[in-house]
Amino acid sequence: MLLNRYSEGRNGRVTVTNILSGHDLIDSLEISDDALAEVSLILKMRCDFSMSSYKDKCMKRRVAIRMRSCRCLDAAEYCNLLRQNEQELDLLKKALTIHVSHFFRNPSMFEKLRISVIPHIFQNANTSQNQIRFWSLGCAGGEEAYSLGILLQEFFTRELIHKPVEICAADIDADILLAAAHAEYNEDRLKELPVPLRESYFIPKGAQLQLSSKIRRMVTFCHQNIMDVRSFEPCQLVLCRNTLIYFTRTEQEKILCGIAHILPADGILVLGKSETLVGNARALFAAVCPVERIYRRI
Ligand SMILES: C[S@@+](CC[C@H](N)C(=O)[O-])C[C@H]1O[C@@H](n2cnc3c(N)ncnc32)[C@H](O)[C@@H]1O
């Protein structure tokens, strides 16, 4: 199965390369107007949620994402699931309304990474290891992955000379990934970014601000389903924030166990403020900083 990898070249152009993945993403999945109307009716009847104030194209994309996550092959199968499953109804509602992110979201977590987590990762890096890898899972418009890039560039330049860091960022939404690779943002996405960093790393582009190519080049975007995280490239740090909330508890457990699979002993996992370890995954991690939802692979 071919997946797309988005990267920024030295000339500033975004290239899309096909890469292989073991998971069968249903890329051709199409939601017809009738199917969307059916989903909309179910949402209205069962939880009084109205889709009418949103754009159809956007809604179709979000419904398709949930269908893929549930591994439904067509809209009829998904509508049946929606009629029977309260939890999926709730998850769809969340997916339709939330794909929000911003730079340095939860700044205190990034501060913790800067002060104690990342220095440890560099110290513990194996001498035979050529490169360190970080993953941002459910990366949306790239804000989280790029924040890691800025953090490294600002505070770890010396370490980067000896141990380069590859930042990989995955999302199931191909359109968001394309936007992420272009890295042009509205002001509101930069609200947590200190002014000096904003001045150093962004330049105005029309009504938006574009991230400097120096940071863009540090991140590789991958069109991948985090349900398949077990097959992702191993790494030392995983940020999986505000994404698990869209999944059922059973799926959350599978994803967390998959993340444990790609982390070495002492590798770090960061979850969102309202997320936590569930099921068997609890035995695979120890808390490093419970407040910031930072965990260490046992
Ligand atoms: C709310 S955003 C989180 C952005 C960022 N991690 C943060 O905390 O600011 C959730 C993202 O997860 C993505 N997502 C949902 N299901 C996914 C899946 N199965 N695989 C990969 N990404 C997924 C969505 O497309 C969305 O961009």
pLDDT digits (tens, 9 = 90+) for 197-211: 999 999 999 999 999
Q: Is any ligand 1 atom within 6 A of the Cβ of residue 101?
A: yes
Per-residue pLDDT of 41-88, as tens digits, reads 999 899 877 676 566 777 888 899 899 889 998 999 999 999 999 989
Q: Are residues 83 and 208 in the same domain?
A: no
Residue 114 near residue 150 (C-beta atoms within 8 A): no
Mean pLDDT (whole number) for 176-199:
93
* Euclidean distance between CA atoms 22 and 123, whole angstroms: 33
Domain that holds residue 280: 107-297
Q: What is the pLDDT of residue 245?
A: 78
Atom in ligand 1 nearest the alpha carbon of residue 226: 20
Q: Are residues 261 and 222 in the same domain?
A: yes
Per-residue pLDDT of 255-291, as tens digits, reads 999 999 999 999 999 999 989 999 999 999 999 999 9
* Residues above pLDDT 70, as percent of the chain: 87
Q: Is the dihedral of CA 114, 117, 123, 126 positive or negative?
A: negative
Per-residue pLDDT of 158-174, as tens digits, reads 999 999 999 999 987 77
Q: Are residues 119 and 246 in the same domain?
A: yes
Mean pLDDT of all residues belonging to the chain? 87
Q: Are residues 81 and 113 in the same domain?
A: no
Q: What is the pLDDT of residue 188?
A: 87
What are φ and ψ of residue 172, in 5° steps? -85, -10
- Give the distance (Å) from ligand 1 centre to CA of residue 204: 27
Strand partners, 105: none
Q: What is the pLDDT of residue 246?
A: 67
Q: Are residues 174 and 277 in the same domain?
A: yes
Sheet holding 184-185, edge to edge: 184-185, 208-211, 202-205
What b/e readout covers 149-168, taking b as 16+ CB neighbours within 10 angstroms?
A: bbbbbeebeebeeebebebb
* Euclidean distance between CA atoms 177 and 142, whole angstroms: 7
Minimum mean pLDDT among 32-41, 167-176, 181-190, 277-286: which range? 167-176
Number of domains in the chain: 2
Q: Are residues 165 and 76 in the same domain?
A: no
- Give the distance (Å) from ligand 1 centre to CA of residue 243: 5
Inside any domain, residue 4: no
* Euclidean distance between CA atoms 15 and 201, whole angstroms: 22
Last residue of a domain, one of 97, 123, 156: 97
Q: Is a pLDDT exceeding 90 seen at residue 247?
A: no
Q: Are residues 241 and 131 in the same domain?
A: yes
Q: Is any ligand 1 atom within 6 A of the Cβ of residue 105?
A: yes
- Give the distance (Å) from ligand 1 centre to CA of residue 293: 17
Inside any domain, residue 3: no
184's tokens: 């042009």
Q: What is the pLDDT of residue 97?
A: 62
Inside any domain, residue 268: yes
Inside any domain, residue 11: no
Task: Indicate the DSSP class of residue 236.
Answer: S
Which one has a higher pLDDT value, 115 or 252?
115
Q: Are residues 88 and 139 in the same domain?
A: no
Q: What is the pLDDT of residue 16?
A: 43
Q: Are residues 257 and 224 in the same domain?
A: yes
Per-residue pLDDT of 212-234, as tens digits, reads 999 999 999 999 989 899 999 99
61's tokens: 């994309």
Q: Are residues 257 and 290 in the same domain?
A: yes
Q: Is any ligand 1 atom within 6 A of the Cβ of residue 225?
A: yes
Q: Is a pLDDT exceeding 70 seen at residue 7?
A: no
138's tokens: 């459910």
DSSP β-ladder status, 294-297 and 268-271: antiparallel
Last residue of a domain, one of 69, 97, 125: 97
Q: Are residues 188 and 75 in the same domain?
A: no
* Strand intervals (E) in 172-290: 184-185, 202-205, 208-211, 219-223, 237-240, 268-271, 285-289
